[in-house]
């Protein structure tokens, strides 16, 4: 059996933990740059607001309805996520962290309903008590069915935060109620095609012949079909390793027009990529830098820069990654025009474990010395805060900084922001 634990309206719930007056009030959380809505409370959904709504277009409506608005505070959400996952880790030796707000637990060896139901309820209670975050738990024999069970647990209060699909009768009943478009693995395209084939619910899909599903929806669709029928095809992945790693941002207002400012931004993106790369104990062989103008502006010249560089030997070095990114940007910078770059980013790919790097006979770099320096930097940054030591090209003033006009405090990660109880 698998359990899927899903945090309810995660970003909104994180904000509510530290601002209890927001309970029962409509709340939305915005994307970077306060661009669009990425998370909403139930009350906000009831007002007709949707994920993806563009902030400046719905701003008046938000003000008129008294909706609480937050810029996204990833420092807070990341830390809260970590706390939730730590608690979940105590319930199973095999935890599969699927996203910032979801994780699968391997419950193999557990007993029947009488044992699972209190166990699931206990998971929800423990997370709620330990972090303040409400969660929904779904338990079933496949990951796809567990996802469906968690949706029922979230929707109907009577489940007491834990829904279990453990018999054929319950499976059929659940699938007959479940719209095909909401199934994990069925996106907009597939659901449109399924609807035109007369498939409205998850149950309808399971009644289609295997050969048709395999032909029309390839192996991924076929796996979803089999999982819905109770055959487990997607296993627990305890240590997912990134295959690519990307740090990118949109810039506020007009964007960036000078190379110096863009260089500083790209250097910081590269440093962030490096931080995430080394946290996984990995190295990368390929680096890509890109920058482009706004897709929405038709009145300005457009441009898309992209340069990819192969490292001679896979690297995990801050200096090498940052300097290579900056060099790649300079290389692709155009001098024959004047552009306002609205977004830029750094992508690391061909990622492998740092201790499996293929060395080169002709590599002139002193890797041992380099590793010692990197280790010292990492130690100091861990002790004194990220960015205490950084590359000079990363700059100080962050001229490319994001717009975050509705940011909450870093309640859990900065001593100056800690909540005060009077």
Q: Which of residues 200-259 bind DNA (CB under 7 A)?
A: 218-220, 240, 242-250, 252-254
- Should residue 56 be labelled a site residue for DNA when binding is judged by CB under 7 A? yes
- String marking each residue 394-413 x if it binds DNA according to CB under 7 A: --------x-----------
Q: Which of 16, 117, 292, 342 binds DNA (CB under 7 A)?
A: 342
The verdict on 186 binding DNA (CB under 7 A) reads yes
Q: Does 52 bind DNA (CB under 7 A)?
A: yes
Residue with tokens 């990197």: 374
Q: Mask 262-301, x = binds DNA (CB under 7 A)?
A: --------------x-----------------x-xx----
Residue 101 contacts DNA per CB under 7 A? yes
Q: SS3 of 176, please?
A: helix
Site string for DNA, 130-149 (x = CB under 7 A): -----------------x--
DSSP H helices, 308-366, are: 318-332
Q: Which residues pair with 115 in a beta bridge?
A: none
Pick 167 or 220: Cβ nearer DNA: 220
Distance CA(115)–CA(101), nearest Å, equals: 25
346 vs 291: CA distance, rounded Å: 9
Q: Under the criterion CB under 7 A, does residue 122 sit at the interface with DNA?
A: no
Alpha helices in 156-280 (DSSP H): 168-177, 188-196, 202-206, 210-228, 259-279
Encoding tokens for residue 196? 């035109």
Give the total residue count for the chain: 422
Query: What whole-number distance in Å separates Cα of residue 128 and Cα of residue 197?
Result: 42
Q: Which is nearer to DNA, 117 or 154 (CB)?
A: 154
User: Would you count residue 307 as binding DNA (CB under 7 A)?
Assistant: no
Please give the Cα distance from 247 to 74 (Å, whole number).
14
Query: What CA–CA distances, in Å, run from 290 to 50, 293, 338, 344?
Result: 30, 11, 17, 5
Residues that contact DNA, how many (by CB under 7 A) = 48
> Which residues of the chain form contacts with DNA (CB under 7 A)?
31-33, 35-36, 38, 52, 54, 56, 98-99, 101-102, 147, 183-191, 218-220, 240, 242-250, 252-254, 276, 294, 296-297, 342-343, 345, 347, 402
């Amino acid at each position: 059996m698998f359990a899927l634990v899903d945090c309810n309206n995660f970003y909104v719930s994180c904000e509510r933990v530290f601002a209890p007056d927001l309970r029962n009030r409509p709340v939305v959380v915005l994307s970077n740059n306060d661009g669009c809505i990425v998370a909403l409370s139930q009350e906000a959904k009831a007002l007709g607001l949707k994920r993806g709504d563009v902030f400046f277009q719905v701003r008046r409506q938000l003000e008129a309805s008294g909706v609480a608005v937050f810029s996204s505070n990833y420092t807070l959400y990341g830390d809260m996520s970590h706390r939730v996952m730590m608690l979940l880790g105590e319930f199973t030796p095999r935890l599969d962290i699927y996203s910032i707000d979801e994780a699968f637990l391997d419950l193999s060896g557990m007993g029947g309903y009488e044992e699972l139901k209190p166990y699931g309820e206990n998971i929800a209670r423990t997370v709620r008590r330990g972090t303040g975050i409400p969660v929904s738990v779904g338990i079933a024999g496949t990951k796809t069915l567990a996802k469906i069970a968690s949706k029922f647990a979230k929707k109907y209060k009577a489940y007491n935060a834990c829904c279990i699909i453990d018999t054929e009768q319950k499976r059929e009943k659940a699938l007959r109620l479940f719209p095909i478009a909401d199934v994990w693995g069925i996106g907009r395209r597939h659901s449109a095609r399924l609807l035109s084939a007369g498939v409205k619910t998850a149950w309808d899909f399971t009644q289609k012949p295997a050969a048709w599903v395999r032909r029309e929806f390839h192996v991924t669709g076929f796996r979803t079909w089999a999982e819905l029928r109770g055959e487990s095809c997607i296993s627990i992945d305890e240590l997912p390793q990134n295959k690519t790693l990307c740090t990118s941002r949109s810039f506020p207002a007009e964007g960036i027009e000078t190379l110096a400012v863009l260089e500083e931004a790209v250097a910081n993106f590269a440093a962030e990529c490096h931080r995430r790369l080394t946290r996984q104990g990995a190295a990368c062989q390929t680096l890509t830098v890109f920058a482009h103008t706004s897709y929405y502006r038709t009145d300005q010249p457009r441009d898309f820069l992209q340069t990819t560089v192969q490292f001679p030997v896979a690297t995990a070095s801050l200096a090498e990654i940052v300097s290579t990114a900056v060099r790649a940007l300079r290389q692709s910078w155009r001098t024959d025009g004047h552009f306002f770059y609205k977004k830029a980013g750094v992508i690391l790919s061909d990622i492998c474990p740092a201790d499996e790097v293929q060395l080169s006979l002709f590599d002139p770099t002193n890797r041992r010395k380099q590793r010692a320096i990197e280790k010292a930097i990492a130690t100091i940054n861990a002790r004194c805060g990220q960015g205490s030591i950084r590359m000079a090209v990363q700059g100080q003033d962050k001229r490319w900084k994001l717009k975050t006009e509705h940011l909450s405090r870093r309640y859990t990660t900065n001593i100056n922001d800690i909540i005060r109880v009077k």
